[in-house]
Chain A
Amino acid sequence: MPEFIQNFELTAWWILAIKLIVVLTVVPVGALAGGYALHKVMAHLQHRLGPMYAGGFHGWAQTLADGIKFVLKEDIIPEKADKPVFKYAPAIIFIPILLLYLVIPVDRRLIVQDLDVGLFYLLAVSSIPAIGILMAGWSSANKYALIGALRSAAQLIAYELPIVLSAATVAMLAGTLSVVGIVEAQDWPFLFWPPGIGLIAFIIFFAGSVAEMNLPPFDMPVAESEIITGAFTEYSGMRFIFGYFFAETAHMIAFSGLAVTFFLGGYRPIVPWEPLTVIPGIVWFMLKLFVMVFLYLWVRPTFPRLREDQLQKFAWKGLIPGSLGLILVAGAWILYAPEWLWH
């Protein structure tokens, strides 16, 4: 046996290195798989087959081939663009999405870093990509891009609040801001119990996250039939991938992970039934994650795109008052519901 392996000691630095390797593999591979799921699920929902050739079996290598194609594409930077901002805006969009993955617990001990204020961290980090989109749109010096970026900013302003307020409801129910603590507080997933409160919080969170990621039906900022791809009109090659394609699927998977953690009981069984605990936590987490990703993909071809005024109205007159009321209802439930109901 080589001396290196004999003397090997699993120090904190080695653990950090392993975490780095795992996350930097899982996020891009997950984004590729998510892209493939996007093609396939949407195709089948629309009675099409989707990609069938690349790789042989049901076109499994389609997104991989797309990725290679995009690496080989010419990187066109328009003459009038604000070049430094234009070049690095995709990084501002993608890196915060990568950071979202760090505090999602895949199993009880399988988490990159359990922060004391994990929930707060998640909300803070998840709103940074919008700045990147604004940078991309403004620096392109393109009218479509500018309109797309401004729409994106307006959408963030409207839909950040429902996400934050529904997350506050979760924090109240769990009594902690630690993400692992939130999962541990869910003997029943919050989706089922307390009755109605968790479900409504989940629906508000879901609508808000769809809007924050600019996915249909809230995809006004990238509406391709009106303003091409909004803020990413001028982008090509790898910058387009990191700003738009990768960001979209990686963001979708990250938000699915958040929804699983906040509302579906994370790595714990979906109902607190003793035999179900035999199944490992990671399996539960992945199953729930697939369900959530499918939900995001299901919404896409199902609903028509909202108009900008409808979108604002829905947020300001529907979701925000609704989530404020929900906080009070949840508070009343926690303080005044009889003990035998609560536990």
Chain B
Amino acid sequence: MPEGYFGQYFTIAIFIVAGVVLVLGTFALAKLLSPFQPHTEKLTTYESGIDPIGTGWSQANVRYYIFALLFVIFDVEAIFLFPWAVVFERLGTQAFVEMVIFIGILTLALLYAIKKKVLEWL
């Protein structure tokens, strides 16, 4: 069994395999035990009992495109935040001021987005 740094993740890898086995095993068990009598009506798409019109892969209005962009920005910020969060107590005021500036710039961007009304879900 691997030791050290990769040893930690070896356990996780084993559990991923175990999870796959658990889920697929249960699916296989269900397949053995459950009935299987498909017919056309049963296999049609369920839309509250009305025959579906067109395809289910219809165009959807992606309202949250700007939300998604902002999310990416803030999520990347979080990556910088965590190493800082662990060590900033040792680095003291300088590191703290730097983070204030960093978060300040991002907050400014968020305020700009709010002012531009792109965060309105209409």
Contact = CB atoms under 8 A, between A and B. Distances in A.
Interface string B56-72: 11101011100110110
A24 B18 contact: yes
Interface residues of A, number: 82
B121 A313 contact: yes
A160 B8 contact: no
B20 A95 contact: yes
Given A102-B12, A172-B88, A309-B120, A141 B19 contact: no
Contacts of A233: 46
B23 A95 contact: yes
Nearest to A87: B27
Given A78-B43, A99-B19, A116-B8, A321 B107 contact: yes
A309 B121 contact: yes
Contacts, number: 201
A71 B20 contact: no
Q: Dominant SS at the A interface? A: helix
A74 B38 CA distance: 9
B67 A157 contact: yes
B96 interface: yes
Contacts of B110: 316, 320-321
Interface of B: 1, 8-9, 11-12, 14-16, 18-20, 22-24, 26-27, 29-31, 33-38, 40, 42-48, 52, 55-58, 60, 62-64, 67-68, 70-71, 74-75, 78, 81-82, 85-86, 88-89, 92-93, 96, 99-100, 103, 106-107, 110, 114, 119-122
Ranked 10 nearest A-B pairs via Cβ: A141-B56, A309-B121, A95-B19, A238-B30, A79-B43, A171-B85, A172-B85, A157-B71, A91-B23, A113-B11
29 contacts: A71-B29, A72-B33, A72-B34, A76-B42, A78-B45, A94-B23, A112-B15, A113-B11, A115-B9, A120-B82, A142-B45, A142-B46, A143-B52, A144-B47, A150-B60, A153-B64, A160-B71, A165-B78, A171-B82, A171-B86, A228-B46, A237-B34, A238-B27, A316-B70, A321-B110, A331-B88, A331-B96, A334-B89, A335-B96
